Amino acid sequence: MKLRENINNYIASDPARFHMPGHKGMLSAYDITELAFSDNLSCPDSAIDQIQSFCAKVYGAKRANLLVNGSTAGILAFQLALAEKIHNRPPRILVGRDCHRSFVNAAILSGAEVIGVNPADELCGVVTPETIRNALEHYKNIDAVFITSPNYYGMCADIKAISETVHELGAILFVDSAHGAHFPFSSSLPPFAIEQNCDYCVVSTHKTLAALNQSAILLSNSEALSAQSIQNAINMVQTTSPSYPIILSIEHGVGEAKYIWQVHCERIQRVREKLLAHNISLVEKPKSAEHSDISRICILAKPFSETGYALEKKLNEVGIYPEMSDTYCAVLITTPYDSEIWYERLLEALLSMKNDNAEPFAYKKLNFENSNAIIKIRDTLSAPCEMLPLEKAAGRIAKYSIGLYPPGISVVFPNEKITAQKVDMLISAISQGAKPFGIDNNCVAVIKE
């Protein structure tokens, strides 16, 4: 496209680079700043705008905004634009409790009042249309619904049914589809969020496409929030010195995906069949999910180890690095760029540590304990706090998000009561090898009483 061509012509001209960045092309010739030919991400009208139009067309959306601060920037921008639209009161958002912590941070910035609903109480479960409908009918003045689909395990909600309910009851539907950037590029993958009539969604092109870390796209499929409002909100949360290599990588990743993902899905189906043939158990699609992503391989910990954390550690020791693990499984992200040899190494490693005598176990997802409360997250921003040991924090109100990363889910929202059940869950997960956030030296910040 024009941007790549313009930068190539610039590089070929042997330019005197009296501009940012300071390495003057030594680290990357494509790492430039806003010049006469390179457009401006904060107000694109030429070369970058051409890439955005291309991405919108590929994903079937009305508009696309390139993001160089990840899907996080798109989630922040959506809430800020929503707050601008609902200007006479705080926006009110119904959110699946399996949301990424970036949603919580956005609520702090936007001042949104949040009502959390639980995903189905199963390993890898997602929010259901029935849960969304019940909440929308119970609570008043819900402006937007925010769901995560697919989740980290590749499980997808019934977005189409949820969309019908959300629109029937007068709200806007935002889908965090950060892990679904590849969905439009193979008939073997779940239908994409835009195809199922959501209003807005984000995709993290860096997660599954050939794009650099931090690359993402905010896709608009609605006029509920104006294009100007979205762009202004993005400008508030995104750097004014965007990385042109990241921008170009979005173009490359999206442009190349349609040629390679169908073949990869056929390959990964064979890999899954081979694993199953060797009695290696994979996480199956739960009843709550409408679809699942076959490219996401989730290996149950037993009979290899007691926990997914331990399985990940064992795999690391032989040079194999999953994306994440939890109590029950290890999660592997696969893409067309995986080497065939990697799959052979994975199978060999699993077979070498397999213990067929290990007892299977029932698994269940954390129950978030519906509080039926409207959470005013922003109220904690200036509230005085004190630090307490996690084991003594039950019954107190959290100052900050508390959870595990990955997957980055806030088990406790700011301005929410810390329950004994959540304390026990966090302590157990940490003891098994989970990496927490919102916990410093085994202490958490709570609002002073």
Q: pLDDT tens for residues 159-213?
A: 999 999 999 999 999 999 999 999 999 999 999 999 999 999 999 999 999 999 9
> Above 60 in pLDDT, residue 312?
yes
Q: 237-273: per-residue pLDDT in tens?
A: 999 999 999 999 999 999 999 999 999 999 999 999 9
pTM of the model: 0.96
Q: 318-337: per-residue pLDDT in tens?
A: 999 999 999 999 999 999 99
Distance CA 14, CA 69 (A): 30
Distance CA 274, CA 299 (A): 13
- Run of H or E residues at 403: strand 402-404
Strand ranges of the sheet holding 172-176, from the earlier edge strand across to the other edge: 63-67, 216-220, 200-203, 172-176, 144-148, 92-96, 113-117, 375-376
CB distance 98 to 148 below 8 Å:
yes
The number of CA neighbours under 13 Å toward the Cβ of 203 is 27
Residue 140: pLDDT band (50, 70, 90) is confident
**pLDDT at residue 357, rounded to an integer:** 61
> Above 90 in pLDDT, residue 121?
no
Distance CA 56, CA 217 (A): 9
Please provide the DSSP assignment of 12-55 as one string.
Answer: HT-----SSSTTTTSS-TT-----TTT--TTS--SHHHHHHHHH
DSSP letter (8 states) at residue 169: T
> Above 80 in pLDDT, residue 372?
no
**pLDDT at residue 367, rounded to an integer:** 56
DSSP letter (8 states) at residue 243: -
Residue 370: pLDDT band (50, 70, 90) is low
Nearest to 109, CA basis, from 147, 144, 82: 82
Give whichever of 122-131, 227-236, 348-357, 372-381 has the largest mean pLDDT: 227-236
Residue 360: pLDDT band (50, 70, 90) is low
**pLDDT at residue 56, rounded to an integer:** 98
Q: 399-414: per-residue pLDDT in tens?
A: 999 999 889 999 999 9
**pLDDT at residue 302, rounded to an integer:** 87
> Above 80 in pLDDT, residue 123?
no
Q: For all residues of the chain together, what is the average pLDDT?
A: 95
> Above 60 in pLDDT, residue 381?
yes
> Above 60 in pLDDT, residue 129?
yes
Distance CA 7, CA 375 (A): 48
- The alpha carbon torsion through 440, 402, 395, 138 (nearest 10 deg) reads 170
The domains located in the chain, with CATH, are 259-353 (3.90.1150.150), 382-447 (3.90.105.10)
Quick one: average pLDDT of 8-19?
98
Strand ranges of the sheet holding 409-412, from the earlier edge strand across to the other edge: 409-412, 402-404, 436-437
Residue 356: pLDDT band (50, 70, 90) is low
**pLDDT at residue 130, rounded to an integer:** 97
